[in-house]
Structure 1
Amino acid sequence: MFLLNAAVLAAATTALLLGPVTVSTPALLTEAVVLVAGLAALLVANALVLRVGLAPLARLARTMSTIDLLRPGPRLPASGRGEIAELIAAFNSMLDRLEAERAASTGRALSAQEGERRRIAQELHDEIGQTLTAVLLELKDVADRAPAPLRESLHEVQETTRNSLDEIRRIARRLRPGVLEELGLTKALRALTAEFTGPGLTVRHHIGADLPPLSDETELVLYRVAQESLTNTARHARARRAEIRLESMPGAVGLRVRDDGRGTGGAPEGAGIRGMRERALLVNAALDLGPAPGGGTEVRLTIPVPERNTPA
């Protein structure tokens, strides 16, 4: 813009000094037309230069207003000249640092959360579970020796205590997926589908037989995303059928959880979905959530994995 203004002013000065161009006093109509036309040309040229030169800043402003660290996207090209390109490059560098710091802090928080879940699950199993088991044995002994009128009431108390013990065990399994650690991801997902299958919801699973070796962290992310997706389905979707599909893809592993419920309806994302996005960041995965074909909701998680070398 400076060069444009300098060129126009230099041309005007040269025309006044060396050419026959003059301005009368008072100015003639033709002279006024020439001056107004020159001023208009200068303003239009400045407007065009500003529009083109500041376009990268407009794109940067739009990116800054819509950026979400839980949804990493492509970086803006450092287009433009001089300070504008430097500003965009600095913003991209700052975004890289923020995403790396967010991923690191999220990893530490989720690691602490998993540790706390294991501790609570262990206490539920060892303390409350054993206490309720002892209460059941005591109730059975008392019921066997109680007179007939009280025996029926004691049996009802036994049944209530047994149901409470089963519920505590289910909570403990959800807090700490021991089957994942002991039997692996495939059997853990099968157990998860059985756990959520009930009178109002049928969950099916399709797990590929050619899955590549996965790290413990990747398996935990897959399990937790599937668990949270089915939890949302059971609580909010009013669905009758759901499906978990885990399969190998070129250079990646894909998890898809689909239901036939009422869909999200444009509702804002809650803590559960944001938690899934945070877990996806830990393994550089892409998480997409949207309407399923034919209605309902579909959660898609794609985790990159190293290609396996096939023997020659």
Structure 2
Amino acid sequence: MKSYWLWILLNVVVWPFTIGYINLPINQLTAGILGVALYFLLFFIVPLIEKKPIILFVLLGTNTSIATAILFPYNGEFNPFLVLIISLLIAEGFYRLPLRYSLANGTIGAFGLGITVLNSNLGFFIQISIAIYILFLFIALIHYKKTKVQLMDVEARYEAILGEYRDVKRRAVSEEELARQEERVLIAHEIHDSVGHKLTALIMQLEMFRLQINEDHKKRVQSLKELANESLNETRRAVKSLKANDTGGLPGVLRLIRKLELENMMHIHFSVKYGAFSAPLTGEQSFVIYRSVQEALTNIMKHSDTKEAEITFEAPGGSIFRFEIRNPASGTDGYQEGFGLSQMRQRLEKHNGSLKVYQTEGHFIVSGYIKIK
């Protein structure tokens, strides 16, 4: 948008001098001012049709014709500001249009300027100088256009590589964190099942042994029993601490999605319903849900104009865990299921789940579910 206002400023600066240079009667001056008004009216339409090159090409060609008609040397006197105006129109064409349309627009501008120069009272040397100027202008703008295309290609590749790097980094971090969660849960179960049970059995055997011995040794056995009880309590505290540090389930998934939101500057609206927070998801199930949501958000970043999504989690009846990602989308054109969506579907089906992807008039929706063990 800044470039648009720059073009407006340049035209606003040039045209008053152009009108002031014209020495026309009142009746012709009125027609000239109306022509300038039409010129700027068409110029203000540019932001609305910037993504439609054919219409923009017609608009710039019309403005070139208007400028040529207003400043045509009817009395033989050439207006030098016409060169600046035609140069601005040609340059704007190279800035906004594809190369072939830019060349066509430049040809129209050069043709209009050439007719004006040939019908003026300019000398041969000045006419040749204007022709050389237009030639060098074309060469410079073509070089600029090719450089701009190359730069845009480099930027697109850089963004693709940067996005891939972030995705790999995010995947590595999330997988490492989920692996740590699984490891903590496994260690907690091992401690509870092996050490905890053995300490409980030891306490019971010490109690039975205490009942069978004489009074002289009961105090010593009692102290051993208390030591075993303290060890059992410490073991239970360690197991609780490991489970308390576990960030699996929906809270862990939400935390990972929030990191994804911050990294990609997206706006995500969450809606948690029907006992989704208390759903007993395993670490592997949490990982599958996060990967599915991540793939849906990746598609939004690649193919959507709006970086915004609504995510809903619910566990109706406590038997399934369901999620839905809804993104605003225009049109009802069909979509092609790529590698990411097919992998998402396979992961969900491994957990007795399913995936559904469809597009309505106003939204693109990805929904799925897995069965809760």
TM superposition score normalised by structure 2: 0.33
Q: Which has the higher contact order (CA 8 A, sep 6+)?
A: 1
**Structure of greater Rg:** 2
TM superposition score normalised by structure 1: 0.39
